[in-house]
Amino acid sequence: MDEEEVEENEGEEGDMEVDEGEKAGKSQSNARESHKAQKALQQERKANKQNSALLQDAKRAWSLARQKNIKTDERKKHIDNLMKVVRGKVQEVVLKHDASRIVQTIVKYGGQTERNEIAAELKGHYRALAQSKYSKFLVTKLIRYCPAHRSSILLEFKSHVIRLLLHREACGVISDSYDLYANAYERSLLLQDFYGKEVALFSSASTKGADATESEKASMRKGLAGALEGADAERRKRILAAVKENLDLVLNNTEKSAVSHSIFHHVMWEYLSEVNHVEDETEREKLRREVFEGSQDVLAEMVHTKDGSRVVREFLAQGTAKDRKQIVKTLKPHVEKICKDDDAQLVLFTALDVIDDTKLTAKSLVADITSKAPSLYQSVQGRRSLLYLIVPRTLRHFSPAQIDMIMETDAIRAKTSKKDPTTRQEEIRKAASEGLVATLLDDAGVFEEVLRDAGGSLLVTEIMLYADGEKPQACENLVRMLSAPYPSEDDTKPHIIDIPHSSRAVKTILQGGHFSKQTKAVVPSTSFSPISLVKLWIQTVGKENTQAMAKAGGAFVVATLCDRVRDDGDAKMKKELKGWFDDRFIAQVGDDVRGKSVLLESIRSL
């Protein structure tokens, strides 16, 4: 190509670049104009909307009132301005997404006067508001912050409670009102719908709200029992049939979320309680069977509340072997969650108490519980579930109130279960022992971690003392921990003896049982002989470490070691221990050593 051709070609390329630049500039210009047009159209549409100016004014005031880091006086000023904007217009704007948040801010940060004003302005619209995706939160806030209006708000739900409970948006309003904010009388207002139209028709208190007399409120607080009070056989039968129909309505609904709410659980427990009072045994069993068959697939959704747990426990206690097997099958996938919940674990305890087929229990429940022991021991509820397998109903770990609740099904168990309770407990303990020991104590690393934990040390003590079978590996792991140099060379990881709860656990294990305040003596365990642990201690921990413990934080533990050798040791063991604690050693024990007198007394008794 010659120079002319090259110049000509370059000129053409330059022209092309200019054309493309002009096109790009025009394209950007067109985009800007299009954007401006769209924005103008959007502003026009907003302006044409109902209450557009109102919302714009409210949003300006709201942006100031909702700030987090402002002084109280300044916030009050902004809330007052916001209230002036929306006063008289709350009903018109509250269903909108952004406007609903504006009113919620007034309720959250405003005074009681502003809250009551908004609550009064929305009177008559609460059922519709509860079903809205956005305004439902405002209804919950008003129920929470406006106790003077709470009864009247809940009365607007009357005859619609079940429908609202089944509604995707409104169910949270009903549930939170019942669980968190309502008093006993206000709860009874929500429960009335479940009892049927006949009860609602003849219950004058249910329509009066806060104006009801104290005697009327007292009658309503009794719930279903109060509605059936003084009723003849036919009326009682009609009311129970109405309750059953409403329970079925919830159970058969495609939206199963309603069965997890405590208001539903309460009604179901009321129904079962009244069914137990039906005189005809055949009719009583028929009614119980119907509600069980309708709810057996959702029982796992009910165990987390007090009443729901009691319902499932009733089914376990009253049921046949086949019923109990079905309940266990339903609960099995949720065992770990059940173990960690205060109310749900009562269902687990009842299952362990009433099911005669302990092989089924061991396979379906006990094995799952013991396998989860490393995570369960870390919470109070989880530890309690593990402890119930080996030391059920002991006051060391279960309060009298908890034991009373567990015992609620004992009277029924006496009629429906054939196996002796003591035999059942022994079989459960035997089934759980191997798994607990293997999971927590046979692994030296896990054992030390559990023993160093305050709650875990209690569990270690009970497993060592009361789990069935020999525990040689566990004893070796414990002694290996004790044989670590004393005091610890690592300030971040103190010796086991210097950890108070761990030291108490070692002392109790060496005693071979727990000290009884009633008898003022140790109650020895029949499942553990501590002398084998003592022999390992003498062989492994040795003289130097034991003396160091005795002269510092382990005086009580070493005193217990001496007592055990004195009572159960042979002549060789006693002679060796006496050699460790001669007069020279005694002279080295300082007066500041806690437990010195107990230690010296135990040494002299060898």
- Convert the pLDDT of each residue in 79-90 to its tens digit: 998 898 888 888
| pLDDT band for position 57 (cuts 50, 70, 90) | confident
What's the token pair of residue 491? 């300030």
Range from 9-23, 123-137, 230-244, 327-341 carrying the lowest mean pLDDT:
9-23
574-577 contacts: CB < 8 A, separation 24 or more? Answer: 574/606, 576/538, 577/538, 577/606
Q: Where are the beta strands (DSSP E) in 202-270?
A: none
| pLDDT band for position 43 (cuts 50, 70, 90) | low
| Domain-embedded: residue 481 | yes
- Convert the pLDDT of each residue in 124-153 to its tens digit: 999 999 999 989 999 999 999 999 999 999
The reported pLDDT for the residue numbered 97 is 72
CB atoms within 10 A of CB 2: 7
Q: Where are the beta strands (DSSP E) in 152-278?
A: none
Evaluate if residue 389 carries a pLDDT over 90: yes
| Residue of 428, 358, 357 whose CA lies nearest to 393 | 428
- Convert the pLDDT of each residue in 453-479 to its tens digit: 999 999 999 999 999 998 999 999 999
| Domain-embedded: residue 458 | no
- Convert the pLDDT of each residue in 221-260 to its tens digit: 889 998 898 889 999 999 999 999 999 999 999 877 899 9
Asked whether the beta carbons of 116 and 148 are under 8 A apart, the reply is yes
| Residue of 480, 483, 444, 439 whose CA lies nearest to 463 | 439
Evaluate if residue 2 carries a pLDDT over 70: no
**Rounded mean pLDDT of 441-454?**
96
| pLDDT band for position 101 (cuts 50, 70, 90) | confident
CA atoms lying within 13 Å on the CB side of residue 265: 25
- Convert the pLDDT of each residue in 526-579 to its tens digit: 999 999 999 999 999 999 999 999 999 899 999 999 999 999 999 999 999 999
| pLDDT band for position 6 (cuts 50, 70, 90) | very low
Evaluate if residue 47 carries a pLDDT over 50: no
User: Could you tell me the pTM of the whole model?
Assistant: 0.86
Asked whether the beta carbons of 132 and 173 are under 8 A apart, the reply is no
Q: Residues of the chain with pLDDT > 90: what percent?
A: 75
**Rounded mean pLDDT of 297-325?**
96
| Residue of 264, 263, 323, 335 whose CA lies nearest to 296 | 323
Label residue 378 left, alpha or beta by phi (over 0 means left) and psi (-120 to 50 means alpha): alpha
CB atoms within 10 A of CB 193: 22
Evaluate if residue 30 carries a pLDDT over 80: no
| Domain-embedded: residue 15 | no
| Domain-embedded: residue 529 | yes
> Domain tally for the chain?
1
Residues β-bridged to residue 316: none
Asked whether the beta carbons of 477 and 509 are under 8 A apart, the reply is no
Please state the three-class secondary structure of 6-21 as a single string.
HHHHHHHHHHHHHHHH
| Domain-embedded: residue 597 | yes
| Domain-embedded: residue 556 | yes
The reported pLDDT for the residue numbered 204 is 56
| Residue of 114, 115, 103, 93 whose CA lies nearest to 66 | 103
**Rounded mean pLDDT of 274-282?**
94
Which of 39-43, 50-54, 102-106, 365-369 tops mean pLDDT? 365-369
Helix (H, G, I), strand (E, B) or coil at 295: helix
Phi, psi for 398 (deg, rounded to 5): -125, 130
Instruction: Give residues with Cβ within 8 angstroms of 338, minimum separation 6.
Output: 303, 331, 344, 345, 347, 348, 385
Evaluate if residue 105 carries a pLDDT over 50: yes
Domain residue limits at 480:
473-604
| pLDDT band for position 119 (cuts 50, 70, 90) | very high
Q: Where are the beta strands (DSSP E) in 388-533?
A: 513-516, 521-524
Q: How far apart are CA 361 and CA 357, in angstroms?
A: 7
Instruction: Give residues with Cβ within 8 angstroms of 398, minimum separation 6.
Output: 384, 388, 406
The residue written with tokens 């959704």 in the block is 301
Evaluate if residue 41 carries a pLDDT over 70: no
Q: How far apart are CA 501 and CA 505, in angstroms?
A: 6
| pLDDT band for position 95 (cuts 50, 70, 90) | confident
What's the token pair of residue 556? 């009580």
| Domain-embedded: residue 501 | yes
Evaluate if residue 264 carries a pLDDT over 70: yes
Q: What is the chain's Cα-based Rg?
A: 36
| Domain-embedded: residue 512 | yes
CA atoms lying within 13 Å on the CB side of residue 104: 16
